[in-house]
Structure 1
Protein backbone atom coordinates (compact mmCIF):
# COMPACT_ATOMS: atom_id res chain seq x y z
CA UNK A 1 0.00 0.00 0.00
CA UNK A 2 1.31 3.42 -0.97
CA UNK A 3 0.91 6.45 1.31
CA UNK A 4 1.61 10.12 0.65
CA UNK A 5 2.26 12.12 3.85
CA UNK A 6 2.25 15.91 3.60
CA UNK A 7 3.15 17.88 6.72
CA UNK A 8 5.79 20.52 7.34
CA UNK A 9 6.75 19.00 10.71
CA UNK A 10 9.13 16.10 10.12
CA UNK A 11 8.66 14.77 13.65
CA UNK A 12 4.90 14.50 13.18
CA UNK A 13 5.37 12.76 9.82
CA UNK A 14 7.72 10.27 11.46
CA UNK A 15 5.21 9.48 14.19
CA UNK A 16 2.46 9.03 11.63
CA UNK A 17 4.69 6.76 9.56
CA UNK A 18 5.30 4.55 12.59
CA UNK A 19 1.54 4.22 13.05
CA UNK A 20 0.93 3.41 9.39
CA UNK A 21 3.56 0.69 9.50
CA UNK A 22 1.27 -1.18 11.89
CA UNK A 23 -1.32 -1.62 9.15
CA UNK A 24 -1.22 -5.08 7.52
CA UNK A 25 0.67 -5.60 4.26
CA UNK A 26 3.68 -4.02 2.57
CA UNK A 27 3.94 -0.24 2.55
CA UNK A 28 5.59 2.48 0.51
CA UNK A 29 5.81 6.01 1.89
CA UNK A 30 6.19 9.28 0.03
CA UNK A 31 6.78 12.35 2.19
CA UNK A 32 6.63 16.08 1.48
CA UNK A 33 6.58 19.21 3.62
CA UNK A 34 4.30 21.20 1.30
CA UNK A 35 1.78 20.69 -1.49
CA UNK A 36 4.16 21.71 -4.25
CA UNK A 37 6.67 19.07 -3.17
CA UNK A 38 3.92 16.48 -3.06
CA UNK A 39 2.78 17.33 -6.59
CA UNK A 40 6.35 16.80 -7.80
CA UNK A 41 6.49 13.40 -6.08
CA UNK A 42 3.35 12.30 -7.89
CA UNK A 43 4.75 13.17 -11.30
CA UNK A 44 5.44 9.91 -13.11
CA UNK A 45 4.51 7.71 -10.17
CA UNK A 46 1.55 5.45 -9.51
CA UNK A 47 -1.12 7.24 -7.51
CA UNK A 48 -0.99 6.60 -3.77
CA UNK A 49 -3.63 4.54 -2.00
CA UNK A 50 -4.09 7.23 0.64
CA UNK A 51 -3.10 10.88 1.02
CA UNK A 52 -2.66 12.37 4.50
CA UNK A 53 -2.65 16.14 4.24
CA UNK A 54 -2.02 18.80 6.88
CA UNK A 55 -4.25 21.86 6.64
CA UNK A 56 -1.65 24.44 7.72
CA UNK A 57 1.19 24.30 5.22
CA UNK A 58 3.65 26.85 3.81
CA UNK A 59 2.66 28.00 0.35
CA UNK A 60 -0.56 26.36 -0.80
CA UNK A 61 -2.68 25.45 2.21
CA UNK A 62 -4.28 22.07 2.68
CA UNK A 63 -7.79 23.18 1.74
CA UNK A 64 -6.64 24.42 -1.66
CA UNK A 65 -4.44 21.34 -1.94
CA UNK A 66 -7.46 19.04 -1.63
CA UNK A 67 -8.91 20.37 -4.87
CA UNK A 68 -5.62 19.94 -6.74
CA UNK A 69 -5.13 16.40 -5.42
CA UNK A 70 -8.69 15.58 -6.49
CA UNK A 71 -7.66 16.53 -10.03
CA UNK A 72 -4.37 14.59 -9.93
CA UNK A 73 -5.63 11.53 -8.03
CA UNK A 74 -9.41 11.46 -8.46
CA UNK A 75 -9.86 8.04 -6.87
CA UNK A 76 -7.38 8.39 -3.99
CA UNK A 77 -8.96 9.10 -0.59
CA UNK A 78 -7.65 12.16 1.24
CA UNK A 79 -7.54 12.50 5.01
CA UNK A 80 -6.98 15.96 6.48
CA UNK A 81 -4.91 16.47 9.62
CA UNK A 82 -4.80 19.60 11.73
CA UNK A 83 -4.20 21.03 15.17
CA UNK A 84 -6.92 23.56 14.29
CA UNK A 85 -10.21 21.91 15.20
CA UNK A 86 -12.47 24.71 13.97
CA UNK A 87 -15.59 22.92 12.64
CA UNK A 88 -15.82 25.33 9.71
CA UNK A 89 -12.40 24.22 8.42
CA UNK A 90 -13.51 20.60 8.73
CA UNK A 91 -16.73 21.22 6.80
CA UNK A 92 -14.87 23.16 4.12
CA UNK A 93 -12.31 20.40 3.66
CA UNK A 94 -14.93 17.66 3.47
CA UNK A 95 -16.97 19.74 1.07
CA UNK A 96 -13.96 20.06 -1.25
CA UNK A 97 -13.60 16.31 -1.50
CA UNK A 98 -11.68 15.05 1.53
CA UNK A 99 -12.72 11.66 2.89
CA UNK A 100 -11.84 12.31 6.50
CA UNK A 101 -10.55 14.68 9.15
CA UNK A 102 -8.36 13.62 12.08
CA UNK A 103 -7.45 16.15 14.80
CA UNK A 104 -3.76 16.07 15.68
CA UNK A 105 -4.87 15.75 19.29
CA UNK A 106 -6.43 12.33 18.53
CA UNK A 107 -5.10 9.27 20.31
CA UNK A 108 -3.17 6.71 18.20
CA UNK A 109 -5.99 4.17 18.39
CA UNK A 110 -8.45 6.77 17.10
CA UNK A 111 -6.13 7.63 14.22
CA UNK A 112 -5.79 3.95 13.28
CA UNK A 113 -9.53 3.36 13.45
CA UNK A 114 -10.20 6.44 11.31
CA UNK A 115 -7.67 5.40 8.66
CA UNK A 116 -9.14 1.90 8.49
CA UNK A 117 -12.60 3.38 7.92
CA UNK A 118 -11.31 5.53 5.04
CA UNK A 119 -9.23 2.71 3.51
CA UNK A 120 -12.36 0.53 3.56
CA UNK A 121 -14.14 3.11 1.40
CA UNK A 122 -15.87 5.11 4.11
CA UNK A 123 -15.53 8.64 5.46
CA UNK A 124 -14.42 9.69 8.92
CA UNK A 125 -15.28 12.87 10.74
CA UNK A 126 -15.19 13.31 14.52
CA UNK A 127 -18.31 14.52 16.24
CA UNK A 128 -18.29 18.30 16.12
CA UNK A 129 -19.56 18.23 19.69
CA UNK A 130 -16.22 16.70 20.69
CA UNK A 131 -14.35 19.63 19.14
CA UNK A 132 -15.97 22.31 21.29
CA UNK A 133 -16.77 22.80 24.98
CA UNK A 134 -19.49 20.33 26.01
CA UNK A 135 -23.08 21.55 26.09
CA UNK A 136 -25.86 20.09 28.15
CA UNK A 137 -28.62 18.36 26.25
CA UNK A 138 -29.42 18.50 22.56
CA UNK A 139 -28.82 22.11 21.63
CA UNK A 140 -28.84 23.70 18.19
CA UNK A 141 -26.88 26.64 19.64
CA UNK A 142 -23.80 24.37 19.54
CA UNK A 143 -23.91 24.55 15.73
CA UNK A 144 -22.03 27.03 13.58
CA UNK A 145 -23.98 29.81 11.89
CA UNK A 146 -23.80 27.98 8.56
CA UNK A 147 -25.02 24.75 10.10
CA UNK A 148 -27.97 26.57 11.64
CA UNK A 149 -28.89 27.85 8.18
CA UNK A 150 -28.72 24.29 6.85
CA UNK A 151 -30.76 23.01 9.79
CA UNK A 152 -33.46 25.62 9.18
CA UNK A 153 -33.86 24.37 5.61
CA UNK A 154 -33.64 20.77 6.76
CA UNK A 155 -36.57 21.40 9.07
CA UNK A 156 -38.61 22.47 6.04
CA UNK A 157 -37.97 19.06 4.48
CA UNK A 158 -35.56 20.44 1.88
CA UNK A 159 -33.35 17.95 0.03
CA UNK A 160 -29.56 18.26 -0.06
CA UNK A 161 -29.79 19.72 -3.55
CA UNK A 162 -32.39 22.27 -2.48
CA UNK A 163 -30.25 23.23 0.51
CA UNK A 164 -27.19 23.58 -1.73
CA UNK A 165 -29.09 25.76 -4.22
CA UNK A 166 -30.55 27.96 -1.48
CA UNK A 167 -27.21 28.57 0.24
CA UNK A 168 -24.96 28.66 -2.83
CA UNK A 169 -22.89 25.59 -2.00
CA UNK A 170 -22.09 22.23 -3.57
CA UNK A 171 -24.47 19.33 -2.99
CA UNK A 172 -21.62 17.40 -1.37
CA UNK A 173 -20.99 20.29 1.01
CA UNK A 174 -24.67 20.30 1.98
CA UNK A 175 -24.51 16.54 2.55
CA UNK A 176 -21.47 16.92 4.81
CA UNK A 177 -23.17 19.72 6.76
CA UNK A 178 -26.25 17.53 7.31
CA UNK A 179 -24.10 14.62 8.53
CA UNK A 180 -22.22 16.91 10.93
CA UNK A 181 -25.48 18.39 12.24
CA UNK A 182 -26.85 14.94 13.05
CA UNK A 183 -23.65 14.06 14.92
CA UNK A 184 -23.50 17.36 16.76
CA UNK A 185 -27.13 17.15 17.86
CA UNK A 186 -26.79 13.48 18.79
CA UNK A 187 -29.68 12.37 16.57
CA UNK A 188 -29.96 9.61 13.98
CA UNK A 189 -32.18 11.06 11.25
CA UNK A 190 -33.02 14.22 9.35
CA UNK A 191 -36.50 14.04 10.87
CA UNK A 192 -35.09 14.05 14.41
CA UNK A 193 -32.88 17.02 13.56
CA UNK A 194 -35.91 18.84 12.17
CA UNK A 195 -37.79 18.24 15.41
CA UNK A 196 -34.89 19.74 17.36
CA UNK A 197 -34.94 22.76 15.06
CA UNK A 198 -38.67 23.25 15.44
CA UNK A 199 -38.51 22.72 19.18
CA UNK A 200 -35.79 25.36 19.57
CA UNK A 201 -37.21 27.79 17.01
CA UNK A 202 -34.24 27.54 14.67
CA UNK A 203 -36.60 27.67 11.70
CA UNK A 204 -37.35 31.21 10.59
CA UNK A 205 -40.44 32.35 8.74
CA UNK A 206 -40.52 32.29 4.97
CA UNK A 207 -39.85 29.76 2.22
Structure 2
Protein backbone atom coordinates (compact mmCIF):
# COMPACT_ATOMS: atom_id res chain seq x y z
CA UNK A 1 0.00 0.00 0.00
CA UNK A 2 1.11 3.53 -0.70
CA UNK A 3 0.74 6.20 2.00
CA UNK A 4 1.19 9.96 1.77
CA UNK A 5 2.13 11.48 5.14
CA UNK A 6 1.72 15.26 5.30
CA UNK A 7 3.19 16.43 8.59
CA UNK A 8 5.84 19.07 9.31
CA UNK A 9 7.30 17.34 12.37
CA UNK A 10 9.72 14.60 11.35
CA UNK A 11 9.42 12.79 14.68
CA UNK A 12 5.65 12.50 14.38
CA UNK A 13 5.99 11.30 10.76
CA UNK A 14 8.35 8.61 11.99
CA UNK A 15 5.77 7.52 14.54
CA UNK A 16 3.09 7.35 11.86
CA UNK A 17 5.34 5.24 9.67
CA UNK A 18 6.00 2.87 12.53
CA UNK A 19 2.26 2.38 13.11
CA UNK A 20 1.50 1.90 9.44
CA UNK A 21 4.35 -0.57 9.04
CA UNK A 22 2.55 -2.83 11.54
CA UNK A 23 -0.37 -3.23 9.13
CA UNK A 24 -0.38 -6.34 6.89
CA UNK A 25 1.25 -6.16 3.49
CA UNK A 26 4.07 -4.24 1.85
CA UNK A 27 4.07 -0.47 2.17
CA UNK A 28 5.52 2.54 0.40
CA UNK A 29 5.71 5.94 2.07
CA UNK A 30 5.66 9.40 0.54
CA UNK A 31 6.37 12.24 2.98
CA UNK A 32 5.72 15.97 2.79
CA UNK A 33 6.15 18.74 5.33
CA UNK A 34 3.99 21.26 3.43
CA UNK A 35 0.73 21.09 1.49
CA UNK A 36 2.40 22.41 -1.66
CA UNK A 37 4.92 19.58 -1.67
CA UNK A 38 2.09 17.11 -1.06
CA UNK A 39 0.15 18.51 -4.03
CA UNK A 40 3.19 17.93 -6.25
CA UNK A 41 3.47 14.33 -5.10
CA UNK A 42 -0.26 13.73 -5.51
CA UNK A 43 -0.07 14.95 -9.12
CA UNK A 44 2.60 12.39 -9.94
CA UNK A 45 1.51 9.48 -7.75
CA UNK A 46 -1.97 8.46 -8.88
CA UNK A 47 -2.25 5.25 -6.86
CA UNK A 48 -2.03 6.53 -3.27
CA UNK A 49 -4.06 4.32 -0.92
CA UNK A 50 -4.27 6.65 2.08
CA UNK A 51 -3.42 10.28 2.86
CA UNK A 52 -2.76 11.47 6.41
CA UNK A 53 -2.96 15.25 6.69
CA UNK A 54 -1.91 17.38 9.64
CA UNK A 55 -4.27 20.34 9.98
CA UNK A 56 -1.61 22.69 11.41
CA UNK A 57 0.84 23.07 8.54
CA UNK A 58 2.90 26.15 7.63
CA UNK A 59 1.72 28.17 4.64
CA UNK A 60 -1.80 26.77 4.31
CA UNK A 61 -4.59 25.63 6.61
CA UNK A 62 -5.20 21.92 6.60
CA UNK A 63 -8.86 22.31 5.63
CA UNK A 64 -7.86 24.24 2.51
CA UNK A 65 -5.30 21.57 1.79
CA UNK A 66 -7.98 18.94 2.24
CA UNK A 67 -10.14 20.49 -0.49
CA UNK A 68 -7.21 20.58 -2.93
CA UNK A 69 -6.17 17.02 -2.15
CA UNK A 70 -9.75 15.83 -2.52
CA UNK A 71 -9.71 17.26 -6.04
CA UNK A 72 -6.35 15.69 -6.87
CA UNK A 73 -7.15 12.30 -5.32
CA UNK A 74 -10.95 11.99 -5.41
CA UNK A 75 -11.02 8.30 -4.47
CA UNK A 76 -8.23 8.24 -1.87
CA UNK A 77 -9.27 8.24 1.80
CA UNK A 78 -7.95 11.31 3.61
CA UNK A 79 -7.42 11.23 7.37
CA UNK A 80 -7.05 14.46 9.33
CA UNK A 81 -4.62 14.66 12.24
CA UNK A 82 -4.78 17.44 14.79
CA UNK A 83 -4.00 18.38 18.37
CA UNK A 84 -7.16 20.49 18.23
CA UNK A 85 -10.23 18.37 19.01
CA UNK A 86 -12.79 21.15 18.57
CA UNK A 87 -16.10 19.63 17.48
CA UNK A 88 -16.72 22.24 14.79
CA UNK A 89 -13.30 21.53 13.26
CA UNK A 90 -14.12 17.82 13.13
CA UNK A 91 -17.49 18.44 11.52
CA UNK A 92 -16.00 20.86 8.97
CA UNK A 93 -13.32 18.36 8.04
CA UNK A 94 -15.83 15.55 7.52
CA UNK A 95 -18.07 17.82 5.45
CA UNK A 96 -15.16 18.68 3.17
CA UNK A 97 -14.50 15.08 2.32
CA UNK A 98 -12.29 13.56 5.02
CA UNK A 99 -12.83 9.90 5.86
CA UNK A 100 -11.48 10.28 9.37
CA UNK A 101 -10.30 12.62 12.10
CA UNK A 102 -7.72 11.24 14.53
CA UNK A 103 -6.61 13.41 17.47
CA UNK A 104 -2.87 13.46 18.01
CA UNK A 105 -3.57 12.61 21.65
CA UNK A 106 -4.90 9.18 20.59
CA UNK A 107 -3.11 6.11 21.86
CA UNK A 108 -1.23 3.96 19.31
CA UNK A 109 -3.91 1.28 19.73
CA UNK A 110 -6.75 3.70 18.96
CA UNK A 111 -4.92 5.20 16.00
CA UNK A 112 -4.14 1.77 14.55
CA UNK A 113 -7.75 0.64 14.92
CA UNK A 114 -8.98 3.88 13.33
CA UNK A 115 -6.64 3.49 10.36
CA UNK A 116 -7.70 -0.12 9.86
CA UNK A 117 -11.36 0.94 9.88
CA UNK A 118 -10.74 3.65 7.30
CA UNK A 119 -8.70 1.37 5.05
CA UNK A 120 -11.59 -1.09 5.18
CA UNK A 121 -13.90 1.58 3.79
CA UNK A 122 -15.29 3.02 7.02
CA UNK A 123 -15.02 6.43 8.65
CA UNK A 124 -13.63 7.38 12.03
CA UNK A 125 -14.23 10.37 14.31
CA UNK A 126 -13.64 10.67 18.06
CA UNK A 127 -17.29 10.47 19.08
CA UNK A 128 -16.69 11.94 22.51
CA UNK A 129 -15.28 15.02 20.80
CA UNK A 130 -18.28 15.46 18.52
CA UNK A 131 -21.21 14.53 20.70
CA UNK A 132 -21.67 13.74 24.38
CA UNK A 133 -22.29 10.02 24.40
CA UNK A 134 -21.87 7.50 21.60
CA UNK A 135 -24.53 7.40 18.90
CA UNK A 136 -26.00 4.09 17.91
CA UNK A 137 -25.84 3.11 14.22
CA UNK A 138 -29.57 2.45 14.44
CA UNK A 139 -30.41 6.04 15.39
CA UNK A 140 -30.63 7.11 11.75
CA UNK A 141 -33.24 4.42 11.06
CA UNK A 142 -35.72 6.23 13.29
CA UNK A 143 -35.83 9.13 10.82
CA UNK A 144 -38.11 9.18 7.81
CA UNK A 145 -36.70 9.88 4.36
CA UNK A 146 -38.04 13.44 4.52
CA UNK A 147 -36.54 13.98 7.98
CA UNK A 148 -33.18 12.76 6.72
CA UNK A 149 -33.40 15.31 3.89
CA UNK A 150 -34.22 18.06 6.39
CA UNK A 151 -31.35 16.95 8.64
CA UNK A 152 -28.93 17.04 5.72
CA UNK A 153 -29.87 20.67 5.08
CA UNK A 154 -29.62 21.51 8.78
CA UNK A 155 -26.07 20.16 8.61
CA UNK A 156 -25.41 22.66 5.80
CA UNK A 157 -26.61 25.55 8.02
CA UNK A 158 -29.86 26.10 6.13
CA UNK A 159 -32.57 28.05 7.96
CA UNK A 160 -36.11 26.69 8.25
CA UNK A 161 -37.21 29.08 5.51
CA UNK A 162 -34.39 27.96 3.22
CA UNK A 163 -35.19 24.31 3.90
CA UNK A 164 -38.83 24.92 3.07
CA UNK A 165 -37.86 26.51 -0.25
CA UNK A 166 -35.35 23.78 -1.08
CA UNK A 167 -37.76 20.91 -0.36
CA UNK A 168 -40.99 22.56 -1.44
CA UNK A 169 -42.53 22.56 2.02
CA UNK A 170 -44.23 25.01 4.34
CA UNK A 171 -42.09 26.57 7.06
CA UNK A 172 -44.41 25.22 9.77
CA UNK A 173 -43.99 21.72 8.36
CA UNK A 174 -40.21 22.15 8.51
CA UNK A 175 -40.51 23.17 12.16
CA UNK A 176 -42.43 19.98 12.90
CA UNK A 177 -39.75 17.90 11.17
CA UNK A 178 -36.96 19.71 13.02
CA UNK A 179 -38.62 19.04 16.37
CA UNK A 180 -39.03 15.36 15.47
CA UNK A 181 -35.39 15.13 14.37
CA UNK A 182 -34.09 16.64 17.62
CA UNK A 183 -36.24 14.20 19.57
CA UNK A 184 -35.17 11.18 17.50
CA UNK A 185 -31.47 12.04 17.80
CA UNK A 186 -31.80 12.94 21.48
CA UNK A 187 -30.21 16.36 21.04
CA UNK A 188 -31.28 19.82 22.21
CA UNK A 189 -30.46 22.06 19.27
CA UNK A 190 -29.66 22.26 15.56
CA UNK A 191 -25.90 22.50 16.09
CA UNK A 192 -25.82 19.17 17.93
CA UNK A 193 -28.12 17.68 15.29
CA UNK A 194 -25.67 18.77 12.59
CA UNK A 195 -22.77 17.22 14.50
CA UNK A 196 -24.59 13.95 14.88
CA UNK A 197 -25.52 14.03 11.19
CA UNK A 198 -21.79 14.11 10.40
CA UNK A 199 -21.10 11.20 12.76
CA UNK A 200 -23.92 9.13 11.27
CA UNK A 201 -23.04 10.01 7.68
CA UNK A 202 -26.35 11.78 6.99
CA UNK A 203 -25.04 15.18 5.96
CA UNK A 204 -25.26 14.47 2.21
CA UNK A 205 -28.71 12.88 2.08
CA UNK A 206 -30.31 15.94 0.52
CA UNK A 207 -28.24 15.38 -2.61
Instruction: Settle same-fold status: TM greater than 0.5.
Output: yes
Aligned length: 157
Corresponding position: 1:62 with 2:62: yes
The residue that corresponds to 1:85 in the other structure is 85
The residue that corresponds to 1:2 in the other structure is 2
Q: Is the 8 A contact 2:42 2:73 kept in 1?
A: no
The residue that corresponds to 1:197 in the other structure is 188
The residue that corresponds to 1:32 in the other structure is 32
Displacement, 1:40?
1.3
Any gaps of 5 or more consecutive residues in structure 1?
Answer: 139-155, 169-188, 203-207
Q: Is the 8 A contact 2:46 2:73 kept in 1?
A: no
Deviations 1:18-43 (Å, cap 9, x if unpaired)? 00000000000000001001111223
1:31 & 1:100 partners in 2: Cα distance? 19
- Give the secondary structure class of the aligned counterpart of 1:197: coil
Pairing of 1:139-178 with structure 2 (within 5 A): 157=147, 159-163=150-154, 164=156, 166-167=158-159
Q: Which stretch has the larger CA shift, 42-51 or 20-29? A: 42-51
- Decide whether aligned partners of structure 1 residues 66 and 130 sit closer, same or farther in structure 2, where only a CA change above 3 A counts: closer
- Decide whether aligned partners of structure 1 residues 64 and 27 sit closer, same or farther in structure 2, where only a CA change above 3 A counts: same
2:12 & 2:130 partners in 1: Cα distance? 21
- Decide whether aligned partners of structure 1 residues 24 and 197 sit closer, same or farther in structure 2, where only a CA change above 3 A counts: same
2:119 & 2:86 partners in 1: Cα distance? 25
Normalised TM-score (structure 1): 0.68
CA-atom RMSD, angstroms? 2.8
Any gaps of 5 or more consecutive residues in structure 2?
Answer: 134-145, 161-180, 194-207
